[in-house]
Chain A
């Protein structure tokens, strides 16, 4: 009996030891990266010239659109390693944007900061609040930043300081079904240019069957998850942005925003050219592809998907103007972190420069459907040829002239959520436009108050 129990205890101990071992191995790549760093620092020293010192960078990135993004990133990392044998990029695929942000913040707060990450451009102020970022203003020549589209740069800045570099960026465009346009006696090469035309076209494109039931809608603007983004587009077209450039002020109840939300609400509830109520973000492209709606507002990120799946000829156009054209930008930027040794920062900057060379930006845009971040990318043979074959891809680029920064503030998650909730309440008719926007402004002011000192 005694023997047996000892045996059992020994067995249990071994088991738990194994368990412990596994969980250690399972620990994030950051640990391993950190230990590599330590050894390289120790062994580095005097005899080796600095260029020879091997540096390993952990690069967190999310996958937010379709396509084999991870293999593209792996290839970029490998190419970079060939060019710079002393630097190894270790891409860490971290899930969605939200998951990546969660991992990064946890890592930063745990003192295990990653070296480089792709995160939403709108997370800027959240990252600043935990003091996680390396400022990039003086790290590059000003002319380097001038190479990007201005609308993309505006989300990299807090005031005049630059904190990130545009990478996988998108914007909103109008998709329309040319076959449906022909069927409704509309010129398929002429998309609606302003709100009146948009409403008018949408009316002509709304088809009802004998019983009065709608079988085809004129227009769909999604209203889950990103309704703030859609409303922002409408507000920009009416002549105002809803956010200041320091992340401390929002202007959610300006008259222009009210006009914009009223238009958004009326399309469904009054003009009856858009389904009433809330339209699921992911369902809208399926509706467009299946012909249930003749036009939609959606991200350029879906261009490749629509191109692959639509069985009809479709057009892409600027979002119609009210007083002006306008669309907010979206998507992710490259961030470098503060709490890492200088040589790794240098390596990260080098990698960023590598990623933003025109040829690579062009290839990335073709592979993923994101908008090329620099005008220079559109001058490359690669992208010129692609745009010639697929002119829809050029629309987002041309619209960049009218684009503006996306809603991004301190406490961004909370502000976005309350704004989203109130917009939905207005779309559902539970609140008037005034109530929804005044309440949003008031709630946002309460949250942002403490940052305004």
Chain B
């Protein structure tokens, strides 16, 4: 290592130091602490070392299993749909035509709203009988459901709302990705007489794969992170039918004051998110051409 390199490294670390410090204080330290706490039974003032007992208990807990299933289902449905929708919208508004910026703004607008506001709006949309959705269905003579009151519908209702919120956000990434694509390949494809769908499948889709990977990670983690709406809309009910992992953690920690179990749940959430990131970066990343 030359002196110059050492100097450069030093400079780099100096520049990184503030964010590293914040990362250490607000991310690494809490992670270690949560790991530590997950081995203690800790309810209110009691704190007692119990090893992995809490982990064993949590996997027999019906509520936890239900919540986990809900969350995985939510991710499995909302992530692909909102990504495909985002891609579709981005390709659409990427073309130069009249009113593009207006449409872009319209697609992006749900992202600008705070989750709490969205939850209140959709609470009204889903209100039985005189809510927006039921009124709309009424025009076609269809009868609405108790969208948030029926365990069969509540998770689906949530999914629709989340897709509506998330798709516009992901569209922005795709739009940026699309605008950076080289023009030459499209000109060549046009000369060869490729149809629009062929152009999309053979050129656009593979070329925006780096964006897709990025969006995939954001979307998956978001589907575990977005829970604010539960607070307004259902509180996880009816009978936990719409409860999600993070909200369950919040309740366990700050409503039951059961820090031990909350820590265990947090560790599980961390492992899940870490696993997703590893799969995405480790497997998909190798198949993508940058």
Contact = CB atoms under 8 A, between A and B. Distances in A.
A62 B14 CA distance: 44
A275 B128 contact: yes
A12 interface: yes
Given A105-B257, A280-B149, A411-B256, A5 B11 contact: yes
B256 A424 contact: no
B149 A16 contact: no
A400 B146 CA distance: 35
B123 interface: yes
Main secondary structure of the interface of B (DSSP, over half): loop
A1 B5 CA distance: 13
Interface string A277-295: 1111011001000101000
A138 to B, nearest CB: 24
Contacts of A413: 251, 255-257
A417 B238 CA distance: 12
Given A5-B10, A5-B14, A102 B254 contact: yes
Contacts of A131: 45
Contacts of A414: 255-256, 258
Interface in A381-428: 411, 413-414, 417, 420-422, 424-425, 427-428
A424 B45 CA distance: 31
Contact of B21 (A16, A224, A420): A16
B13 to A, nearest CB: 10
A98 interface: yes
A278 B238 contact: yes
Contact of A428 (B151, B255, B257): B151
Contacts of B150: 277-278, 428
A42 interface: no
A420 B63 CA distance: 13
A12 B13 CA distance: 11
The interface size bin for chain B is 35 or more
A363 interface: no
B255 A292 contact: no
18 contacts: A9-B11, A12-B14, A12-B15, A15-B18, A16-B18, A98-B254, A105-B257, A126-B44, A224-B235, A277-B149, A278-B148, A278-B150, A283-B123, A283-B127, A414-B258, A421-B240, A424-B237, A424-B239
Contact of B238 (A98, A283, A424): A424
Main secondary structure of the interface of A (DSSP, over half): helix
Contacts of B10: 5
Contacts of B238: 223-224, 277-278, 424, 427-428
A21 interface: no
Interface string A180-218: 000000000000000000000000000000000101000
Contacts of B281: none
A150 to B, nearest CB: 29
Interface string A424-445: 1101101000000000000000
B149 to A, nearest CB: 4
B121 to A, nearest CB: 13
Interface of A: 1-2, 5, 8-9, 12, 15-16, 19, 98, 101-102, 105, 126, 129-131, 213, 215, 223-225, 275-280, 282-283, 286, 290, 292, 411, 413-414, 417, 420-422, 424-425, 427-428, 430
Contact of B129 (A276, A282, A292): A292
B241 to A, nearest CB: 9
B143 interface: yes
Contacts of B129: 215, 292
B96 interface: no
Given A8-B11, A9-B14, A280-B149, A130 B45 contact: yes
Interface string B137-173: 0000001001011110000000000000000000000
A379 B257 CA distance: 42
A417 B146 contact: no
Interface string B37-51: 000000111000000
A126 B149 contact: no
A215 B144 CA distance: 13
Contacts of B183: none
A9 B14 CA distance: 6
Contacts of B143: 213
Please provide the 8 A-B residue pairs with the shortest distance between their CB atoms, ordered closest to farther. Answer: A413-B255, A278-B149, A278-B238, A277-B149, A129-B44, A424-B239, A413-B256, A414-B256
Nearest to A227: B237
B251 to A, nearest CB: 7
Contact of B14 (A8, A276, A411, A430): A8
A290 B127 CA distance: 12
Contacts of B200: none
A420 B238 CA distance: 9
Contacts of B233: 280
B232 to A, nearest CB: 8
B287 interface: no
A117 B127 CA distance: 36
Nearest to A279: B149
B78 interface: no
Contact of A290 (B44, B130, B240): B130
Given A279-B149, A413-B251, A428-B238, 5 more contacts: A9-B11, A223-B238, A276-B146, A424-B238, A430-B151
Contacts of A428: 150-151, 238-239
Contacts of A276: 146
B12 to A, nearest CB: 10
B130 A12 contact: no
B33 interface: no
B69 to A, nearest CB: 16
Contacts of B22: 19
B234 interface: yes
Contacts of B239: 421-422, 424-425, 428, 430
